[in-house]
Structure 1
Amino acid sequence: MKKFWLSLLSIIIPASAVTFEDNDTVVLLGNTVIERAQKYGYLETAINLSARKKKLKFRNLGWSGDTVFGHARSYFGPPKEGFDRLKSDLTELKPNVVIVCYGAVAAYDGQKGLPEFLAGYETLLSMIKSSASPREIVIVSPPPAESLGAPMPDMREHNKRLALYSKAVGKLAQKHKLQFADFFTTLGESKGLTDNGLHFTPEGYQTAAPKLVEALGLSLATGNQLQSEHARKLREATVAKNKLFFFRWRPANETYLRLFRKHEQGNNLKELPMFDPLIADAEKQIEALKKTTLSLK
């Protein structure tokens, strides 16, 4: 029994805490749990505060329904277009740290889908390294599903699949000597996180945020730091910045700007870089609010 627990701990506990350096660009990459995080700001705010005085810049590249193959990111071209788009985004952003969370979608395929998923993850990791050369890549396991009772489905069987995929990505991180954050185990059987068993509510993100920090081997200054009024203002500023970056990165009328209708309004493409100074100003506000929040005991 003792050997069992020691082997389990070697998988679920990161070898060391994720390290940030001043002026790091941190990319959050994954599917729905990452994309929706930008709407509420809890995850980013918690990670930012856990870095203490180090100045960080976050870019959320989450895409709902995405997998390690990037197919969801494709617009009107072949599925591979989505992966190429992600490669281009990472090349442009040149992140120092990439936090990757995949497996929630793939887990529906169970044991039979695991080899293809892991092969795709290997390809994704190689692409991240070649296109962005980040100092650190962190693999985060998918969070658990939640059984809400009838008429919602019982998620116990799906959690077995998620546990399988979480363990697999943990071993993948070990193989590549990457940091691993076991979000699945850290969240455990937390209740009241989702509205449908899968997708976090705002309150769910609020509960999950310090758990993710813990899984990353980090900590907040105090247990209730995210509850303070100053942290609320910091989180709201983070959400506002995320909106600006989203409009810059994923403009609503991309077919008019870059694709098959660009002959109609393609001249407006030049306006996208105009978001950059707005984002920079928003990040100055975030840094000021972060300093204020950290100064409170």
Structure 2
Amino acid sequence: MRKRIVLAIPPACLAVFLYLLCGSAFAQTTPESVNEPLQNPFELKSGDRVVFLGNSLFEDDFQYGYLELAFTTRWPERDVTFRNLGWTGDNVFGVARSTITNPPTGYDLLMEHITKAQPTVVFLGYGGIEAQEGEAGLATFKDGLTKLLDKIDQLGARAILVSPIPILSADSVESLTKRNAMLERYSATIAKMAEERGKRFVDVYKPIQAVRQTLALSEDGIHLNEAGYFYLATILEKALGLPPRMKPATITIVKTTAEAAAGETAAPVKLLETDASKGHLTFTIDEPYLPLPLPIDETSVAAKGAQVLKIAGLKKGIYTLTTDDSEVITASASQWEAGINIKQGPSFEQVRELQHMILKKNELFFFQYRPLNTTYILGMRAHEQGRHAKGLEEQSLIIKWLEGQIAQNRLPKPKVYKLTHLK
């Protein structure tokens, strides 16, 4: 069960709140076209409002925030807001949202939630629940998805359709094979509808299915764990045509001089001071994006997302890399030449703090748009506790303040690295 978060807001922040409420930093922009040239890489612009809409595929990311974090750090100079409207067990008709009374129906609430979010971009993650109906439910699913896409078009938003994920384990091989065959059938249907309507489609089924035996992406075989969402974020980035988040940085020492590799495939390195004869180097690495923080149990995803640093030509010995007088990693000359995965340091500390802010913001939003005691506050018994609805709206102040904090911390901070020969 999610716990409520109560934040104390310093009085000095009130001006910031008012600016964010009235300013244009987070204003909605209307896309020139609902559809976009699919051959172009996906892009978010300042003013975009991104909504994740679907079942538990999106709701479960409330625990980790990887999807929002990935897109936030991809365009750190742009003001983009995110809202997660995922609802466990939901389908394209919003059946799982029938928690207040009837009317409004779950479908009415689904329409209300989308409209109120004022999206410019919508990631749709449906099909996993509907696939349980088998072939017989396919026509109904297509009808519901069509109406949902019509609604998103009507709102002037771009839709990106995401396939369901496979079942990763089941009681029997026969059950696993049967269920996944139907999920793949629904995924193919979503892909075809996306093509017919000129929408982007992201197939996450096949990439996850391909690695399910080697990567521990789920605890129960149905829902993704932390490593699963880390991996899902990288799948989305690649499928949307985004360049690699991290490029290897290479420095080569030749006698008494040091040179940094250049080119499109290498991270720009600027040498500041060198004493190549002693193996002492001072340099910066141009990092356009913050890295994605690795899961706590990173063994299943290896070092995906880490910065690779290669330093060739060092004399035999042990060398330590530091920044801001803090040790990042220590390794031998042969290990540096082979390439070291930088998986800790200031950039990872910064992005974990950013991830924490995103989780706080999303937790507040979760309880705002689907609060506990919904029936008493917003539903048929609102005559008893409906006065608390005002308090829900006031949480927007804190949410916007947190979005301001996220904006201040999503840009990579410059740092100077020092390599020192220890022995």
Same fold (TM over 0.5): yes
SS at 2:140 equivalent = helix
Q: How does 1:8-47 map to 2 (within 5 A)?
A: 15-47=39-71
Q: For the structure 1 residues 43 and 153, does the alpha-carbon distance in structure 2 shift closer, same or farther, using more than 3 Å as the test?
A: farther
Aligned to 1:145: 167
In 2: Cα distance, 1:37 partner to 1:97 partner: 18
Which residue of 197, 205, 208 maps to 1:184?
A: 205
* Shift in Å, 1:51: 3.3
- Which position in structure 2 is the counterpart of 1:261? 381
For 1:225, the aligned partner's letter is P
* C-alpha deviation, 1:158, in angstroms: 1.6
1:274 aligns with 2:296: no
For normalisation by structure 1, the TM-score amounts to: 0.87
How far apart, CA to CA, are the structure 2 residues paired with 1:279 and 1:45? 16
Cα shift at 1:296: 7.0
Checking the alignment, whether the CA contact within 8 Å between 2:169 and 2:222 is kept in structure 1 is no
Unaligned runs of 5+ in 2: 1-37, 248-289, 294-347, 417-423
Give the counterpart letter for 2:196 in structure 1.
K
What residue is the counterpart of 1:226 in the other structure?
A: 292
In the aligned structure 1, how far is the partner of 2:244 from the partner of 2:362? 22
Task: Identify the range of structure 1 (194-203 vs 227-236) with the bigger mean alpha-carbon deviation.
Answer: 227-236
Of Structure 1 and Structure 2, the greater strand share is in 2
- Where 1:55 maps in the other structure, the secondary structure is coil
Shift of 1:103: 0.6
Give, in whole Å, the separation in 2 of the partners of 1:95 and 1:257. 25
Structure 2 counterpart of 1:159: 180
Higher alpha-carbon deviation: 20-29 or 157-166: 157-166
Structure number with higher helix proportion:
1
Residue 74 of structure 2 is aligned to residue 61 of structure 1: no
- Paired residues for 1:74-153 under 5 Å: 74-78=98-102, 81-130=105-154, 132-134=155-157, 136-147=158-169
CA deviation after TM superposition for structure 1 residue 107, in Å: 1.4
Which stretch of the first structure deviates more once superposed, 164-173 or 284-293? Answer: 284-293
State how far apart, in whole Å, the 2-side matches of 1:23 and 1:35 are: 23
CA contact (8 A) 1:152 1:196 kept: no
Deviation string, structure 1 residues 209-266 (Cα, Å, up to 9, x no partner) = 2112222322452179113222211111111110011111111111111223222211
How far apart in 2 are the matches of 1:273 and 1:44? 23
Give the Cα–Cα distance (whole angstroms) in 2 for the partners of residues 115 and 16 of structure 1: 31
Residue 275 to residue 100, structure 1, CA distance change in 2 (3 Å) = same
**1:30-78 CA-partner distances (Å, limit 9, x unpaired):** 0011011122111111122233432210000000000011111112434
Aligned residues of 1:31 and 1:62 also touching (Cα < 8 A): yes
Contact 2:73 2:411 in 1 (8 A): no
Identity in percent: 34
Are residue 172 (structure 1) and residue 193 (structure 2) matched? yes
Change beyond 3 A, Cα 1:80–1:252: closer
Q: What is the DSSP-based 3-state SS (H/G/I as helix, E as strand, rest coil) of the residue aligned with 1:266?
A: helix
Q: In the alignment, is the contact (CA less than 8 A) between 1:140 and 1:182 conserved in 2?
A: yes
Instruction: State the distance in 1 between where 2:169 and 2:103 align.
Output: 33
Q: Distance in 1 between matches of 2:78 and 2:241?
A: 16
* 1:98 aligned counterpart, secondary structure: strand
- 1:242-261 aligned within 5 A: 242-261=362-381
Structure 1 residues 86 and 296, CA, compared in 2 at 3 Å: closer, same or farther?
A: farther
Aligned AA for 2:392? L
Q: Which structure: larger Rg? A: 2
Aligned partners of 2:168 and 2:209 also within 8 Å: no
Q: CA deviation at 1:88?
A: 1.6
Query: How many residue pairs align between the two structures?
Result: 280
Q: CA separation in 2, counterparts of 1:90 and 1:171?
A: 24
Q: Secondary structure at the match of 2:69?
A: helix
Q: Distance in 2 between matches of 1:67 and 1:80?
A: 16
Q: 1:51 matched to which residue of 2?
A: 75
Q: Is the 8 A contact 2:92 2:126 kept in 1?
A: yes
Match of 2:221 in 1: 197
Query: Residues 57 and 223 of structure 2 are in contact (CA less than 8 Å); yes or no, is this contact kept in structure 1?
Result: yes
CA distance in 2, matches of 1:54, 1:161: 40
